Amino acid sequence: MELIKDLPDRLLFAVPKKGRLHSSCLSLLEGAEIQFHRKNRLDIALVKNLPIALVFLPAGDIAKFVGEGNVDLGITGQDMVAEARAEDKVTEILELGFGKCRLCVQVPVKGGPTKVEDLVGKRIATSFEGISGKFFNEVDARVAAANGTPEKKTELVFVSGSVEAACALGLADGIVDLVESGETMQAAGLHDIVTILSSQAVLIASKKPKHPELVQTIAGRIKGVIAAQKYVYINYNIERKNLKEASTITPGRQAPTVSPLENPEWVAVSSMVLKNNVAKTMDDLEAIGACDILLFAIQNCRV
């Protein structure tokens, strides 16, 4: 492969090659102006405008590569970092706000156990053998200690996908798998009885990256893109006597920008506000007499 010779001088940045996190990662790279052309079937792409090479890997392998220092930066789920037992081997730089889900113990709604202790000694199907093993070892030990009986081991059965089918097919009595909307779980006649961990996509770096300044540059760019998605810019006019109250409604990240108007009794205010609460923010501003309230999307920012 011709481009392998270019890799030693470049920061290696691992991105999920498919699955739930793939398209959000591509949007993030675009927002951060990390420009590349990926050849068909090739899992390495050189970035055109920065000394970076993107490496497209399964989400489940990225924490291992970053933890071992084979690549400098990566994006994967917190669940994958935990499953790879890489929490102490990587630096979590930033939560990215997508890929949010929970890793749950799930059992059949009809006739299933109601508490996790009832699964001791039974079979659990999962793709998360590491996390589930640790979790059920603790449950097994706790139950044995409470009953004063020898420890019974809960059996883990590895399945690589479509885990929810395992109970209906008679392979397991319960499962450990991810839940987001709950649709897949409900469709399979399951419900969750315990959340083992909550997860979202994160930017992770190796403990000793080969290009630390570039790691900071990329982290800064990605932080900016995330903040731009989270905030909008609001602009309004308000009577000076109501400015204090207005400032508590739109405090901004540091402080609102206040500009004088021709009419000395009025000021113009601008501020970054959280996008997911913006309708209420506008209601509150209107209620204290603000007018000409304008909202602007933020294309990119540095915070």
Ligand X SMILES: O=P(O)(O)OC[C@H]1O[C@H](OP(=O)(O)OP(=O)(O)O)[C@H](O)[C@@H]1O
Q: Is 184 in the site for ligand X (CB under 6 A)?
A: yes
Q: How many CB atoms lie within 10 A of CB 120?
A: 19
Q: Is 180 in the site for ligand X (CB under 6 A)?
A: yes
Nearest residue (CB) to ligand ATP, 62 versus 232: 62
Structure tokens at 98: 């997508």
Structure tokens at 192: 């969750």
Nearest 5°: CA angle at 74, between 213 and 219?
A: 40
Which one of 45, 107, 178, 190 is in contact with ligand X (CB under 6 A)?
A: 178
Q: How many CB atoms lie within 10 A of CB 140?
A: 18
Stretch that binds ligand X, among 174-182, 201-209, 254-262, 266-274 (CB under 6 A): 174-182
Nearest residue (CB) to ligand ATP, 131 versus 238: 131
Q: Is 185 in the site for ligand ATP (CB under 6 A)?
A: no
Q: From residue 199 to residue 228, what is the string marking binding to ligand X with x (rule CB under 6 A)? A: ------------------------------
Distance CA 122, CA 140 (A): 11
Work out whether strand 52-57 and strand 44-46 pair parallel, antiparallel, or are unpaired. antiparallel
Which one of 72, 140, 173, 177 is in contact with ligand X (CB under 6 A)?
A: 177
Which one of 3, 6, 9, 18 is in contact with ligand ATP (CB under 6 A)?
A: 18
Stretch that binds ligand X, among 147-155, 159-167, 243-251, 264-272 (CB under 6 A): 159-167
Radius of gyration of the chain (CA): 25
In DSSP notation, 199-220 reads E-EEEEEESS-S-HHHHHHHHH
Binding-site ranges for ligand X (CB under 6 A): 20, 161-162, 164, 177-185
